[in-house]
A and B are shown apart, each in its own frame.
Chain A
Amino acid sequence: AQTVTQSQPEMSVQEAETVTLSCTYDTSENNYYLFWYKQPPSRQMILVIRQEAYKQQNATENRFSVNFQKAAKSFSLKISDSQLGDTAMYFCALEGSNYQLIWGAGTKLIIKP
């Protein structure tokens, strides 16, 4: 079975600090996609960053970057220079064998001023 585990239910950091959210997964596929989605309070879920498993280079999007370790099945999200607008629920997701998404339980991230 394919699974996604986020072991940090809630985290909080001061504005401008760097924070890393953890995600581990399990799949028997060799090629797949991993995603981090963000759900701000009372707002729509949006894609933050996507990683293709066959690419060794870690994906980056401005202040957001991932540390993808395929052998360890680990996919962490690093947010640099955190801002108040980064306060949100963050979900890690794995593309399943039938192209559906398998979701982690989420991490609530609070950025304190």
Chain B
Amino acid sequence: DVKVTQSSRYLVKRTGEKVFLECVQDMDHENMFWYRQDPGLGLRLIYFSYDVKMKEKGDIPEGYSVSREKKERFSLILESASTNQTSMYLCASSPPRGRALGEQFFGPGTRLTVL
């Protein structure tokens, strides 16, 4: 089974802190994604990566950056956390893109609270 793990289930940080969210997948997937999930808004894509050292902006990249130094690890960085970044953060991975697939595999999520 594909396993996607995230470094923390719950995290509380203060405004202005630099925050690192880590995601690791064990299935050698090329594609990795970071979403934030807010009630009534569904999932919104922050950043994604199709390969090591590759990154692409999603729909809401402002205030975030990412790092992918190794294939299995995709990190989300909040350079200076703000209260409006309080949310559930979901990491996902998927195999190389083929039209017959499309499934993404998700981690358990990190619920981040910024005070």
Contact = CB atoms under 8 A, between A and B. Distances in A.
Given A44-B108, A47-B103, A100 B58 contact: yes
Contacts of B104: 47, 101
B45 A46 contact: no
A64 interface: no
A18 B107 CA distance: 30
Quick one: which of A35, A43, A46, A99 has the most chain B CB within 10 A? Answer: A99
Contacts of B107: 44
Contacts of B108: 43-44
Contacts of A100: 33, 45, 48, 58
B6 to A, nearest CB: 10
Contacts of B109: 44
Interface stretch (A66-74, A77-85, A103-111): A103-111
A44 B106 contact: yes
Interface string A22-51: 000000000101010000000111110010
A91 interface: yes
B30 to A, nearest CB: 12
Interface residues of A, number: 21
A95 interface: yes
Interface string B2-13: 001000000000
Contacts of A43: 108
Interface string B27-69: 0000001000000111111001000000000100000000000
B102 A99 contact: yes
Contacts of B18: none
Given A91-B42, A104-B42, A31 B99 contact: yes
B106 A35 contact: no
5 contacts: A4-B42, A100-B45, A100-B48, A101-B102, A103-B42
8 shortest interchain CB distances as A-B pairs: A103-B42, A45-B106, A103-B43, A33-B102, A105-B42, A99-B97, A47-B103, A44-B106
